[in-house]
Structure 1
Amino acid sequence: MTYYVAIVEEEEGKAVGVWFPDLPGCVSAGDTVDEAMTNAAEALALWIDVAEESGRPIPAPRTLTELKRVPEVAEDLVRYMVALIPFRPLRHAA
């Protein structure tokens, strides 16, 4: 199974936000961490589904070690929680 690193931004009084450093524009949120994780898995599947349908390449997931070398991401890796979200393809009706 393929997993993508997600940054989970949890701040008091705000929705829990989730974004994927490897998938530009792939974001999600929820009122709780559990809801945000569920929504993140759905957002991941939808992002990849749309990219495939439009012929865009799907970036390979980078490891946490690789992402720590990216200055724009490294700060958020220290500041926020990190999660691995499994990619589960959407089931399309035939």
Structure 2
Amino acid sequence: MKFPLYLHQTDSGSFSGFVPDIIGCLFAGDTIDEAISEAHSAIDAHLEYTAEQGLPIPEAQSITAHLKDEACQGGIWAFADIDIAKYDGKAVKLNITLPQNLLNKIDRYVGEHREFGSRSGFIAELARRELRKTA
């Protein structure tokens, strides 16, 4: 999931910012690259805590959704691409039944789109997408 990051340069030349979709998620760094790296760490800490508390993972919105926010004026935008699968909890093995032709299509698709890693990763990502629609 790509979380928008809002950054601004301080008078000293360093950068600080926040993640508009994750309340209280702040970060800073001496350079813009360092600040973005720190944003990844801050997001990880927030999402790990959120998952431990059994709370829903915040949904990343587009930058456009934040453009009129008074706190997001005069700075710059970046993204942090976060794999939220690790906050879903421990993997549980299950036995499901799918039609052979559908399974073959899934396997071909996953073979061409390595970002899913496996057919389980593919099915899990589709489930996450569908569940976000109802949240």
Aligned 1:43-62 pairs, distance under 5 A: 43-62=42-61
Choose between structure 1 and 2 for higher RCO, CA contacts under 8 A separated by at least 6 residues. 1
SS at 2:11 equivalent: coil
Q: Name the larger-Rg structure.
A: 2
Paired residues of 1:3 and 1:61 also in contact (CA < 8 A): yes
* Equivalent runs, 1:8-23 vs 2, <5 Å: 8-13=7-12, 15-23=14-22
1:49 match: secondary structure: helix
Equivalents in 1 of 2:75, 2:12: separation in Å? Answer: 16
1:67 partnered with 2:62? no
**How many Å apart are 1:10 and its aligned residue?**
0.9
Q: Tell me how far apart the structure 1 counterparts of residues 65 and 17 of structure 2 sit (CA, whole Å).
A: 19
Residue aligned with 2:50, SS: helix
Q: TM-score, normalised by structure 1?
A: 0.78
Higher helix content, 1 or 2: 2
Greater per-residue strand proportion: 1
Specify every segment of 5 or more residues in structure 2 that has no aligned partner in the other structure, as ranges.
87-135
1:7·1:76 contact (CA, 8 Å) conserved in 2? no
Identity of aligned residues (%): 25
Equivalent residue for 1:3?
2
CA displacement 1:50-76 (0-9 Å, x = unmatched)? 10001122221111222225xxx2x44
1:80 aligns to what? 75
Q: For residue 12 of structure 1, what is the amino acid of its counterpart?
A: D
Q: How far apart are the structure 2 equivalents of 1:26 and 1:8? A: 12
- Matched with 2:117 is none
Moved more, 75-84 or 57-66: 75-84
- TM score, norm. by length of structure 2: 0.56
